[in-house]
Amino acid sequence: MKVGNDGADDKRPNETRPGGEKVESLPLTAREQRFDIRIARDGTWFHEGDPIRRIELVKLFATVLRRDEAGEFWLVTPVERGRIVVEDTPFVAVEMAASGHGEEQILSFRTNLDEWIDCGPDHPIRVVHNPENGEPTPYILIRNGLEARILRPVYYEMVDRADTRGHDGEAEVGVWSKKVFFALGRLPGG
């Protein structure tokens, strides 16, 4: 699908989603291509059905990865852009490091592409609970609407560092990072 024409020059500003999440607008001047690229739930990148084995190539693609206002994922360069399939998130948080304690604590997460992110106001954690079984799935914002799913063992490390605080008759369980409290869940009767 071609959007605009070769002479079009869309100057839309970047947009902000509810909650302050910034989302980049895609340049409409780039020619749209069909890229047969998929990012599996485990963070593996595939091209034409085969895994991309060169991590350097995946890291290069990740630098031009964008997410539009509708939640679609694109690889975007100044001259071309192509939609790709992302099964859950483009990144996976595979390791956590912690320094400090309490409100002064800083939690850092390493992605499957060896990028370290310090959790805080610019890189918040959110937890989605499965409505059928209540299982939590935690995510951390990496950049521009792109998140990493936090692997289960890393999530358990976070839970080991969790604090509990009372809130409206319930106990809220969460972690501190860069003086921000990130809720992981609630316990009844707190």
Residue 13 has a pLDDT of 43
Residue 170 has a pLDDT of 75
Residue 25 has a pLDDT of 54
Per-residue pLDDT tens digits for 88-144: 999 999 999 999 999 999 999 999 999 999 999 999 999 999 899 889 999 999 998
Do the strands 91-99 and 146-150 form a parallel or antiparallel pair, or are they unpaired?
parallel
| Distance between CA atoms of residues 137 and 150, nearest Å | 7
Sequence-separated contacts (24+) of 154-157 with Cβ below 8 Å:
154/93, 154/94, 154/95, 154/96, 154/109, 157/96
Question: 135, 132, 139: which is closest to 158 by C-alpha?
Answer: 139
Residue 78 has a pLDDT of 84
Decide: helix, strand or coil at residue 174.
Answer: strand
Lookup: tokens for 87: 């099964």
Lookup: tokens for 79: 């001259």
Average pLDDT along the chain, 190 residues, taken 10 residues at a time:
36 46 52 86 95 96 94 90 94 97 95 97 95 92 96 95 80 94 79
- Positive or negative, the Cα torsion across 123, 40, 37, 4? negative
| Distance between CA atoms of residues 161 and 110, nearest Å | 17
Q: What phi and psi, each to the nearest 5 degrees, are found at residue 35?
A: -105, 125
